[in-house]
Amino acid sequence: MALTYWWLLPLGAVGLAVVVVFFWRRRADGARLIPVAHADRLTALPAYQKAVRQRRSWLLAALAAVVVLALSLMTAAARPVTERTSIPERLNRDIMLCLDVSGSMLDTDEAIVTVFSKLVGNFKGERIGLTIFDSSAVTVFPLTDDYEFVAEELKTAQKALGLDADSFEYFAGTYERPGSSLIGDGLASCVQGFPATGQDEQRSRSIILATDNMLAGKPIFTLAQASDLTAKAKIRVYALNPNDFGQSTLFGAAAENLKKAATTTGGAYYPLESESTVASIVDKVQATEAATLKGAPQKTVLDHPAWPLGLALASLLVLGVALWRLRR
């Protein structure tokens, strides 16, 4: 423990000594002695001696209380503190939720948003963004660590994906071109939501892509081209597909292409048996992407005024009792 204004203690001690000497000399100069005959008979009485001893005890108690009160107040004024240096650790993770909002994906999208709504309260240092797409992509909110804002936006998305009465407006801008589920364009748009390569070299980057890869239309980017773009930007793709029904079906071929695109980026592919498995998969993604970034050392100063002020209060109470006893 240290005193911020330590010089107040010697300065206060000098001031206290000056006050004591002043009043002592003033009392000595103004004292008048009156001779009394046979006073020794009075002072020899046991009751008188007991009263003198009690008075002296209370005078000493009052004097000690005054000294302790003065010292404790001076200590409080000198500001006792403890200093501590810490190096904070923050998760250096950027996560973009990239959701295909075509009709077949809404239940999965809602499950993903619900999971992240629960997780956002535990985030510390992560940035999260949300982009939705069908034939065209819309950034709902960019990468941010304003978690109160993120929580509100995810609640809104959860209602809209659950086909709330006003959900149609939420998807405005995602049907600006012919076609549906233009996955390559959607993924490429999500990549554009990250800062340029080199600005955040120490941050891990990931895209959680929810789609069944059932392309219906002619995109600007094919899925393979978009995954190459993602890999060059050092972004991992974690693809979640609720419609993987085996290799022998049309869905199976789409799933295989989606798996290849995700693993090309260093990410992973997860077939979903039900929306309830989203939470466990997100846990795997969180664990894979977890990494810490040590921040700059931070100096923390903690004030400790309680003990000197508490001591001052106790001494003030003792002084009050002593003065009351001396006046009796």
Residue whose structure tokens are 């002072």: 43
pLDDT, the chain, mean: 82
Q: What is the pLDDT of residues 301-315, one digit of tens each?
A: 888 888 888 888 888
- DSSP H helices in the chain: 8-30, 39-43, 46-77, 106-119, 147-161, 167-170, 183-191, 223-232, 250-264, 278-289, 306-326
Q: What percent of the chain has pLDDT over 70?
A: 87
Cα dihedral 321, 324, 326, 328 sign: negative
The pLDDT score that the predictor gives to residue 139 is: 93
Q: Extract the tokens encoding 47.
A: 């009751």
- 3-class secondary-structure state, position 303: strand
Q: Spell out the domains of the chain, with CATH numbers in brackets.
A: 2-26+42-85+300-326 (no CATH), 89-294 (3.40.50.410)
Q: What is the pLDDT of residues 197-256, one digit of tens each?
A: 665 556 788 899 988 888 888 889 999 999 999 999 889 999 888 887 666 667 788 888
